[in-house]
Amino acid sequence: MNNQEMNQQDMVREMIRINKSGTNAFIYNRDSGDLRLGSNNQSSMVSIKSTGNVGIGTNSPTVNLQVYDASSSQIKITNGLATPVDLQLFASSSSYAGIGTASNHRLAFRTNNTEKVTILTNGNLGIGTSSPTQLLDVTGADAEIVINMVSKKSIKGISKSVVQEAYPGLIQKG
């Protein structure tokens, strides 16, 4: 290696730092600027801002993790099982966003680490049950469905008064 090559390596070392401490390895920008990673002749595919925000497909992430693609952005989380479960968050080019499974598995929503809502692969929606048997299955000790009807006078051909007679308290007056 000649002197010019050594000087170039020293300059690179001054701009970025590669360090190893125990079993941990570190790459960081010695200045207060961003750290950017690229491949395939792309200058920046991943950007780590000095604030800690990470951008994939963007150099200016405004939140902890921001994924950008001009046509459709997706985040996919997959486990390592033999039949993997895929969760996807996506923003489509068709003006909508969604969350769902990309595999043949149910989707569950939790609060306080307890499953509260489940959507099965057949479309059945369970509230208070993880195995709904109907299109809408509400289960619980004090399960109650309240429908606020302000302007509509019927539910699919059933008049408001018939529902109120059959199920007092189901429809609140609005």
CA angle 168, 173, 174 (to 5 degrees): 155
Using CA atoms, how far residue 120 sits from 16, 65, 112, 116, in Å, is 49, 29, 21, 13
Domain around 136: 106-143
pTM, 2 dp? 0.61
Whether 54 is in a domain gets the answer no
Whether 30 is in a domain gets the answer no
As a whole number of angstroms, the distance between CA 156 and CA 30 comes to 66
- Model confidence pLDDT, tens digit, residues 53-86: 999 988 889 999 998 888 778 888 888 888 888 8
At residue 94 the predicted structure's pLDDT band, cuts being 50, 70 and 90, is confident
User: How many Cβ atoms from other residues are within 10 Å of residue 139's Cβ?
Assistant: 13
Whether 38 is in a domain gets the answer no
Whether 139 is in a domain gets the answer yes
As a whole number of angstroms, the distance between CA 57 and CA 110 comes to 30
Whether 62 is in a domain gets the answer no
Quote the number of domains for the chain.
3
